[in-house]
C-alpha cells in the first residue's frame, strides 16, 4: 500500500545503497596485497563478515568504542583463522582499510535507478552510523552525493541509531516533520525500530533476505520500493 503525504525520504547508506560487502572485500584484497598479508581472502571474509556485524551492533549499543571496533574485528577474525598477527600489523591494516574502502564504490543493484525515480518526487536524505569522513567519501566517490539534500552521521548527532536524537537532528536539518517522513534501511533495530520509536514510517530493505515478521513493510530488491512510494 502506498504511503501518503510523504515529502522526505531518509536512507541508511551501507547495505542499503552502497554495496558494503563487495567494496569491503575489494579493499581488503588491496590491503593484503600491499602489506603482503598471506591469507586467503575468501576465508578471511567468511570469518570477518559476522565478526564485523557483531562489533557494529556493540558499537551501536555503546558497548565498544570506535577504536575497539577498529582493532577487535580484525584481531578476532585473524584469531578464528589461527593466524598470528601483531598489534602493529593490525594497526597498519586498519588504517589502510579505512583509506582504501571508499575508493571502491559499487552500489547495490537498482540503487541508481531508484534514486533517479525518487529524486524528482521527494527530498532525499542520509542517516548513517558510519564514520563521518569515510561516509562522505563513499557518497562523493560513488557519485550519489548530489541526490541528497542532507547527510547526518552519528558523529554529527553525538549518538547512533536507534537513538531518537539522531533522527531528530536529521529531521531538523531536513526541515521535515515526522508525519511526512519515511526511513529506509537494512537494520531492523537501528533503522526501523529507531524511526518507528519517533513515530516515523519505515521500510526495511531486507538485504540478506532474512526472516522478519510480515507486519514490517519490507523489500528484497530496491525496485520494490515503488510499491510504497
**CATH classification of the domain holding 137:** 3.40.50.1000
Same domain for 112 and 222?
yes
Q: Residue 208: its pLDDT value, please? A: 86
Angle between helices 20-35 and 41-60 (to 10 degrees): 120
Show the cell assigned to 215: 507486519
Start-to-end CA span in the chain (Å): 9
Q: Are residues 117 and 216 in the same domain?
A: yes
Helix (H, G, I), strand (E, B) or coil at 107: strand
Alpha helices in the chain (DSSP H): 20-35, 41-60, 66-80, 87-100, 111-118, 132-141, 154-157, 164-174, 194-198
pLDDT at residue 162 in the model: 96
Residue 196 structural domain: 8-18+106-227
pLDDT for the residue 213: 86
pLDDT at 163: 96
Assess whether 221 and 121 both reside in one domain: yes
Q: Which residues contact 62 (CB under 8 A, 6 or more apart)?
A: 160
Which pLDDT belongs to residue 207? 86
Q: Which of 78, 103, 128 is the last residue of a domain?
A: 103
In a domain, 180, yes or no: yes
Is the pTM of the predicted complex or chain greater than 0.85? Answer: yes
Instruction: Give the residue ranges of the chain where pLDDT is below 70.
Output: none
Structurally, how many domains does the chain consist of? 2
The tens digit of pLDDT for each residue in 78-120 reads 999 999 999 999 999 999 999 999 999 999 999 999 999 999 9
Report pLDDT for 98. Answer: 94
pLDDT, residue 131, reads 87
Amino acid at each position: 500500500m502506498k504511503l501518503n503525504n510523504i515529502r522526505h525520504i531518509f536512507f541508511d547508506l551501507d547495505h542499503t545503497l552502497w554495496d558494503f560487502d563487495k567494496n569491503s572485500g575489494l579493499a581488503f584484497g588491496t590491503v593484503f596485497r600491499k602489506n603482503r598479508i598471506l591469507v586467503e581472502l575468501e576465508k578471511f571474509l567468511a570469518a570477518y563478515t559476522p565478526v564485523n556485524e557483531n562489533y557494529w551492533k556493540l558499537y551501536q549499543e555503546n558497548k565498544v568504542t570506535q577504536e575497539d571496533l577498529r582493532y577487535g574485528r580484525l584481531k578476532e577474525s585473524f584469531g578464528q583463522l589461527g593466524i598470528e598477527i601483531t598489534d602493529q600489523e593490525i594497526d597498519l591494516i586498519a588504517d589502510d582499510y579505512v583509506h582504501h574502502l571508499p575508493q571502491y564504490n559499487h552500489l547495490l543493484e537498482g540503487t541508481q535507478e531508484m534514486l533517479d525515480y525518487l529524486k524528482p518526487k521527494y527530498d532525499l536524505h542520509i542517516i548513517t552510523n558510519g564514520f563521518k569522513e569515510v561516509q562522505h567519501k563513499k557518497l562523493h566517490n560513488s557519485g550519489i552525493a548530489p541526490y541528497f539534500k542532507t547527510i547526518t552521521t552519528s558523529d554529527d548527532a553525538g549518538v547512533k541509531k536507534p537513538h531518537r536524537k539522531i533522527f531528530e537532528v536529521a529531521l531538523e536539518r531536513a526541515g521535515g516533520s515526522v508525519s511526512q517522513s519515511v526511513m529506509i534501511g537494512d537494520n531492523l533495530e537501528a533503522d526501523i525500530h529507531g524511526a518507528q520509536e519517533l513515530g516515523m514510517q519505515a521500510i526495511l530493505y531486507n538485504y540478506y533476505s532474512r526472516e522478519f515478521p510480515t507486519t514490517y513493510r519490507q523489500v528484497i530488491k530496491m525496485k520494490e520500493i515503488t510499491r510504497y512510494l
